[in-house]
Amino acid sequence: MKDNLISIIIPSYNRAHLIIETLESIRKQTYGNWECIIVDDRSTDYTEQVVCDYIKDKPRFSYYNRPLEKLKGANSCRNYGLSISNGDYIIFFDSDDVLTSTSFENRVKEFQKNDNLDIVIFEMGKFSGNKFQKESKSLVINGDWDVALNAFLTLKTLPWSICRPTYKKSFIDNIKFNENLQRFQDIDFNIRLLVLNKPIYISIPEIDCYYRIADNNNPRKPEFFTHVIQSVAIFIESITTCLNDSRIDLPKQKIKEWIFDIIRNYMNSNVSISILHKTISKANNLLNFNKGELFLIYSLGYLNKAYKYKKGYHFLYQKIKINYFKIIIK
């Protein structure tokens, strides 16, 4: 049986304090035929020094800086890593997450059982410090490609995140990450993959990787929230174009529900009103909000900007939510 090569591609930015744990989980794999491509988004900390010191005697690891002509961001790093990879199978991984030692071995075994598979998906747990646990919101999806697509388009609990799948490289040659997106890139990538390529996939209900939840060692920076709000309209435009080209209906109600949840969870004092306005205006061009919807979504944004976590906030939020959802489900 052929010993297929796995390429695991890791974008990184200012992860000097975390990335070695990730690389160690790769080095300890029971499956031996792999390459690890680290593409650094031109970190300003000691990531390059830390990684290069670690890999100097480990030839299966390689380190690159994002080419200057490519846009800043993890998506550019992933696309560049994919372009120079040699593997039969591709895993996109994050620089602060970890794999179980049998991850590669078990993923390859599933492909070898069924050569028709395009994607193999395992479950993901979460960890903080030394505590590992099952991801309570994990969703195991099996069925035809449209089953997974419908689940992704609810934009609630997603069928899989970026680190869970292993892709047959030949199957994703025509799909690239949207380099204009700072957030939701994995959702966008997988929606376009499902619509355009209609994969045969299998989900295995077994945890083989863990993501690190935000804590004191891995905090969310203030710009994170701006990037989330900025990415909303770019994401909607990307999937709208893809769905329209494939004559698949855009689930506008579900997307309007999702926008409300995003503004509720991520709009705060760190995000400027001008960013909020640009995002809602562009989303409105794509989704055609009515006047009542626009008033309420703006009200939520202003409320979160000025009063989030203050006395009386929850009462006002509930009033906005009830009226918004009454309108969009009519």
Query: Do 78 and 183 fall within a single domain?
Result: yes
Query: What does the pLDDT average to over 64-91?
Result: 96
At residue 163, φ and ψ (nearest 5 deg) are -85, -15
Average pLDDT, the chain: 91
Closest CA to 30 of 113, 100, 132, 123: 100
Pairing of strands 165-168, 61-65: unpaired
Range of the domain at 296: 222-328
Query: Dihedral through CA 301, CA 302, CA 308, CA 311, nearest 10?
Result: -140
pLDDT band at 138 (very low <50, low <70, confident <90, very high): low
Is residue 183 located within the same domain as residue 304?
no
212, 243, 261 - which closes a domain: 212
- Position 255 scores a pLDDT of 93
How confident is the model at residue 185, as a pLDDT? 92
Check pLDDT > 70 for residue 291: yes
Sign of the Cα torsion 145, 148, 153, 154 reads positive
Q: Is 74 helix (H, G, I), strand (E, B) or coil?
A: helix
Cβ(280)–Cβ(305) below 8 Å: no
- In single-letter form, the type of residue at position 6 comes to I
Distance CA 10, CA 63 (A): 10
Quote the longest CA-to-CA distance of the chain.
Answer: 65
Looking at the domain assignment, is residue 217 inside a domain?
A: no
DSSP state, residue 170 = G
What is the model's pLDDT at position 219? 65
Is residue 1 one of the residues assigned to a domain? no
pTM: 0.89
Overall domain count for the chain: 2
Q: Beta-carbon neighbour count of residue 262 at 10 Å? A: 19
Per-residue confidence (pLDDT) for residue 1, from 0 to 100: 46
Name the residue among 46, 45, 26 with its Cα closest to residue 35.
Answer: 26
Bigger pLDDT: 309 vs 216: 309
Name the pLDDT band for 29 (thresholds 50, 70, 90).
very high
Last residue of a domain, one of 212, 234, 264: 212
For residues 26 and 312, give the distance between their C-alpha atoms in angstroms, rounded to a whole number: 48
- Mean pLDDT, to the nearest integer, of 88-115? 94
Please tell me whether residues 141 and 238 are part of one structural domain: no
Q: Which of 41-50, 152-161, 236-245 has the lowest mean pLDDT?
A: 152-161
**pLDDT score at 59:** 95
Q: Are 147 and 230 part of one and the same domain?
A: no
Instruction: Please report whether residue 230 resides in a domain.
Output: yes
Q: Distance (Å, rounded) from C-alpha 298 to C-alpha 119? A: 40
What pLDDT, on a 0 to 100 scale, did the predictor assign at position 131?
62
pLDDT of residue 129: 64
Mean pLDDT within 26-50: 96
Residues 245 and 121 in one domain: no
Give the end of a domain, one of 212, 246, 272: 212
207 with 231, same domain? no
pLDDT of residue 216: 54
pLDDT at 135 over 70: no
The three-class DSSP label of residue 242 is helix
pLDDT value at 224 more than 50: yes
Q: How far is CA 164 from CA 32, 48, 140, 161, 302, in A?
A: 19, 26, 11, 6, 36
